[in-house]
Amino acid sequence: MLKQIEGSFAVAEAIALCRPEVICAYPITPQTHIVERLSELVRTGDVGNCQYINVESEFAALSVAIGASAAGARAYTATSSQGLLFMAEAVYNASGLGLPIVMTIGNRAIGAPINIWNDHSDSMALRDAGWIQLYAETNQDAVDLHIQAFRLAEQLSVPVMVCEDGFILTHACEQVDMPDSEQVDSYLPPFEPVQVLDPAEPITMGAMVGPEAFTEVRYLAHHKHLRAIEVIPELSTEFEHIFGRNTGGLIEPYRSEDAETVIVALGSVVGTIKDVVDEMRDEGVSLGAVKVVSFRPFPLLALREALQNAKRVIVVEKCLADGLGGIVVGSVRMSLRGTSTPVYTIIAGLGGRAITKKSLRRAFNEAVADRLEDPHFLDLDWKVIDHELARSQEKRRSGPIAENILRELGLVGGKPV
Amino acid sequence: MTKTAIKKNAGKASSKNAFDVMSYLRHDLFPHFLCPGCGHGIALRALMWAIHELEIDKDRIAIVSGIGCSGRLGAYIDANTFHTTHGRPLAFAAGLKLARPDLEVIVITGDGDCLAIGGNHLIHACRRNLDITCMMLNNEVYGMTGGQVSPTTSEDRYTTTTPLGNTEAAFDACRLAEAAGAGFVGREVTVQTPTLKNLLKDAIAYNGFSFIEVISDCTEIYGRKNDLGNSPEMILSQKSQMRPNSYGGVIVDEPFRPNALPTGVLSTNARPEYGETYRNAMASAKRKK
């Protein structure tokens, strides 16, 4: 049914249709609306037999989900930013134990300096924690990927993060085709755990493993992700049969087959990029895009195939590896290994800076002319950078950088120290 | 300024200059973000007033705050301020105080910051007894994220995550701090601003860990949702729900108001201040060498 709905509420209603048995959460912007809505849906009985627990921290939230999942319950939590980092230990624990928890990440920057707006620093920090990571472009994607996430998680006994851009998606009201419970029930069978804590058949979870077997345990986790590369497109196809919508599986190419220049990106920015592709195509630039839906596992072969005709590749990403450049680009380069295709990185949208079509066009044109420096920081204010660097060279105690820049920009009073 | 000098000022009624709260605030960050009717501003005023009467130089003060509405207060104070991560201000403050024992370190935190995500740091700060003053603003809710249940939300109250009414018991933060070994523990409501100011003066002057719970009000989100009235009604009912004991005296049980929380100085625990203990131990270890 078509609904005009806030992104967070759409996700909450999709989660409710998946009938989790335990939901635990701690408030953090911009994820909070999801769990607030879920608490209401639990109260009204719309989630079925579900217990909602308010916990004292994100660390507790995921730990509660781990306990619930170990006891055989379908468990769900959601977080953002610092909250995800705070639960990091439990994030690894859940995947190590093979517990099929689904967690929404309302993507948000990480401080210091404190910033509540969107980028991908949070989920990227935990990209190699053994969880599958799916990135949504739209709120429709977010709804559809969550339903697939439970199925994927439970089929492979591996936890799944569904990442959606904070504010841009979570707080945006747009049209979403909401599935009904019959559709979801036919796609997602009740959770049958592979292993469960049961007094009748006692097992030990989380046993200590020494050097004699640790590598094998870790390899098997790797193997699950390799399996996921096969399973994700299958589940996506099956999803399309029931719901009539295609989420793309691992990747979704957009006018890229014959394109000389192909842009690779993930998340909501892909929508903007598609518009730019259309506009620049109309002007005669041979441009295309590929959306990465599954960042972990990374679809090395599928992406290599999608990029095989490209003369150059541009990766647009909302995260930064200090001193290195992009994070996503590392995996893209790996998929292109052995080829001589030049790859450019555009770091954009950090801490919620708007990524405009105008700025993207400028950067894409530079790349098409092979003049773009790598990495390129979209819309970076070099004047501010130069002033701050000069200040810090002039005197050792040049003051906190964040406050200095706010002063320079006139956003707070006083002059830079 | 030495602790003895601060203590001397704590006994005095007022300082030589009239108190002007604006001279302690950063005007460049105005308008502030607190909602109309929020009690946090009153608590901030009381804290600045206490500092004024103690005659502590602003440059000798380090304010450490966490995340939440309470955490934002630090930004408005014209002193050394450190806005830390959620739940960690007491831990950041411990490092700060050990490195700079000459500074008056004051932590501003909230019920969620201090008792939920940072609860572990609170009990260990109390146990360690470093000379830090912790002002915890208790408004019974996570205000900044829009009104979710906190560890001090009263039972049966509605929040955005307790649509059935809260089914969990609330913390008594002062009893927790006392049991964990805090040197000085007190509680006050915002409407009693001069009393709160005096309590904060004693807490800052105390040489050890002092914990002050300020009963604040979240009118916009929590009050509205629970039909608790506007700010004047909320803060007056907070006052009537409290059980003031004579300042520093013994709490007398009042059977007609059995659930009310006591206010004032609730406990003192004369223990050696940790920083001094540690520095003395180091000095004697060096002498033995």
Cα–Cα distance measured from residue A350 to residue A109, given in angstroms and rounded to the nearest whole number = 7
CATH number at A251-377: 3.40.50.920
Which of A26, A171, A408 has the highest number of chain B CBs within 10 A, making it the mutation to test binding with B? A26
Q: What is the pLDDT of residue B261?
A: 79
Which of A55, A56, A62, A79 has the highest number of chain B CBs within 10 A, making it the mutation to test binding with B? A56
Residue B142 to residue A27, Cβ atoms within 8 A: yes
Residue corresponding to tokens 């909401």? A178
Beta bridge partners of A134: A162, A294
Q: Would an 8 Å CB–CB cutoff place A45 in contact with chain B?
A: no
Is the fold of A2-243 the same as that of A251-377? yes
Q: Would an 8 Å CB–CB cutoff place B163 in contact with chain A?
A: yes
Distance from CA of A326 to the nearest CA of B (A): 26
- CB contact at 8 A, B154 and B140: yes
Mean pLDDT of A178-191: 97
- CB contact at 8 A, B115 and B152: yes
Share of chain A above pLDDT 70, in %: 100
Residue A56 to residue B163, Cβ atoms within 8 A: no
Phi, psi of A394 (to 5 degrees): -65, -50
Q: What is the pLDDT of residue B243?
A: 67
| B226 Cβ neighbours under 8 A, 6+ residues apart | B157, B158
Looking at this predicted complex, what is its ipTM? 0.89
Percentages of chain A per state (helix, strand, coil), in multiples of 5: 40, 15, 40
Q: What is the pLDDT of residue B178?
A: 96
Residue B162 to residue A54, Cβ atoms within 8 A: yes
Domain ranges, ordered by start, for chain A: 2-243, 251-377, 383-417
> How many beta carbons lie within 10 A of that of residue A18, not counting itself?
23
Beta bridge partners of A174: A5
Cα–Cα distance measured from residue B189 to residue A247, given in angstroms and rounded to the nearest whole number = 55
Cα–Cα distance measured from residue B74 to residue B51, given in angstroms and rounded to the nearest whole number = 14
pLDDT-based confidence at A246, cuts 50/70/90? very high
pLDDT digits (tens, 9 = 90+) for B145-203: 999 999 999 989 999 999 999 999 998 999 999 999 999 999 999 999 999 999 999 99
Q: Is the pLDDT of residue B101 over 70?
A: yes
Distance from CA of B12 to the nearest CA of A (A): 35
Helix residue ranges per DSSP H, A283-353: 300-306, 328-335
Q: Would an 8 Å CB–CB cutoff place A240 in contact with chain B?
A: no
Which of B27, B117, B155 has the highest number of chain A CBs within 10 A, making it the mutation to test binding with A? B117
Q: Would an 8 Å CB–CB cutoff place A28 in contact with chain B?
A: yes
Q: Is the pLDDT of residue A74 over 90?
A: yes
Distance from CA of A36 to the nearest CA of B (A): 5
pLDDT-based confidence at A399, cuts 50/70/90? confident
Mean pLDDT of A206-224: 96
pLDDT digits (tens, 9 = 90+) for A254-269: 999 999 999 999 999 9
pLDDT-based confidence at A67, cuts 50/70/90? very high
pLDDT-based confidence at B249, cuts 50/70/90? very low
Which residues of chain A are within 8 Å of residue B26 when distances are taken between CB atoms? 412-413
SS3 A114: coil
Residue A36 to residue B168, Cβ atoms within 8 A: no
Which of B25, B76, B121, B160 has the highest number of chain A CBs within 10 A, making it the mutation to test binding with A? B160
Which residues of chain A are within 8 Å of residue B145 when distances are taken between CB atoms? 27-29, 32
Fold of A2-243: Rossmann fold (3.40.50)
Closest residue by Cα to residue A22 from A51, A44, A54, A42: A51
Closest residue by Cα to residue B32 from B70, B86, B72: B72
Q: What is the pLDDT of residue B248?
A: 45
Distance from CA of A187 to the nearest CA of B (A): 29
pLDDT-based confidence at A395, cuts 50/70/90? confident
Q: What is the pLDDT of residue B257?
A: 44
Residue B148 to residue A54, Cβ atoms within 8 A: yes
| A112 Cβ neighbours under 8 A, 6+ residues apart | A402, B85
pLDDT digits (tens, 9 = 90+) for A267-289: 999 999 999 999 999 999 999 99
Q: What is the pLDDT of residue B246?
A: 44
Mean pLDDT of B2-30: 84
Mean of pLDDT over chain A = 96
Q: What is the pLDDT of residue B174?
A: 95
- CB contact at 8 A, B116 and B140: no
Phi, psi of B162 (to 5 degrees): -130, 70
Mean pLDDT of A389-411: 88
CA-nearest residue of chain A to B112? A56
DSSP B162: B
Percentages of chain B per state (helix, strand, coil), in multiples of 5: 40, 20, 40
Q: What is the pLDDT of residue B14?
A: 63
Closest CB to A27: pick one of B85, B119, B148.
B148
Q: What is the pLDDT of residue B258?
A: 45
Which long-range contacts does A281-285 make (Cβ < 8 Å, 24+ apart)?
A281/A255, A285/A261, A285/A364, A285/A365, A285/A368
Domain ranges, ordered by start, for chain B: 33-288
Class of domain B33-288: alpha beta
Q: Is the pLDDT of residue A303 over 50?
A: yes
Mean pLDDT of B22-47: 94
Distance from CA of B192 to the nearest CA of A (A): 30
Which residues of chain B are within 8 Å of residue A111 when distances are taken between CB atoms? 85
Q: What is the pLDDT of residue B256?
A: 46
Helix residue ranges per DSSP H, A283-369: 300-306, 328-335, 357-368
Name the A residues in 77-106 with CB < 8 Å from any B CB. Answer: 82, 86
Model's pTM, two decimal places?
Answer: 0.93
Name the B residues in 88-147 with CB < 8 Å from any A CB. Answer: 115-117, 119, 142, 144-146
- Tell me the torsion sign for CA atoms B206, B211, B215, B216: positive
Report the C-alpha dihedral over residues A42, A81, B68, B213, rounded to 10 degrees. Answer: 80
Distance from CA of A149 to the nearest CA of B (A): 24
Residue corresponding to tokens 């523990």? B185
Which residues of chain B are within 8 Å of residue A16 when distances are taken between CB atoms? none
Share of chain A above pLDDT 90, in %: 93
Cα–Cα distance measured from residue B34 to residue A222, given in angstroms and rounded to the nearest whole number = 49
Q: Is the pLDDT of residue B247 over 70?
A: no
| CA-derived radius of gyration, chain A | 22
Which residues of chain B are within 8 Å of residue A52 when distances are taken between CB atoms? 161
Residue corresponding to tokens 């719901």? A243
pLDDT-based confidence at B289, cuts 50/70/90? confident
Angle among Cα B240, B242, B244 to the nearest 5 degrees reads 110
| B113 Cβ neighbours under 8 A, 6+ residues apart | B66, B67, B68, B70, B71, B86, B87, B89
Closest CB to A35: pick one of B28, B116, B161.
B161
- CB contact at 8 A, A224 and A187: no
pLDDT digits (tens, 9 = 90+) for A2-41: 999 999 999 999 999 999 999 999 999 999 999 999 999 9
Residue B117 to residue A35, Cβ atoms within 8 A: no
- CB contact at 8 A, B65 and B82: yes
Least confident among A360-374, A384-398, B139-153:
A384-398
Which residues of chain A are within 8 Å of residue B117 when distances are taken between CB atoms? 26, 56-58, 86
Residue corresponding to tokens 């036919």? A186
- CB contact at 8 A, A77 and A23: yes
Beta bridge partners of A92: none
Which residues of chain A are within 8 Å of residue B162 when distances are taken between CB atoms? 39, 54
pLDDT digits (tens, 9 = 90+) for A95-148: 999 999 999 999 999 999 999 999 999 999 999 999 999 999 999 999 999 999
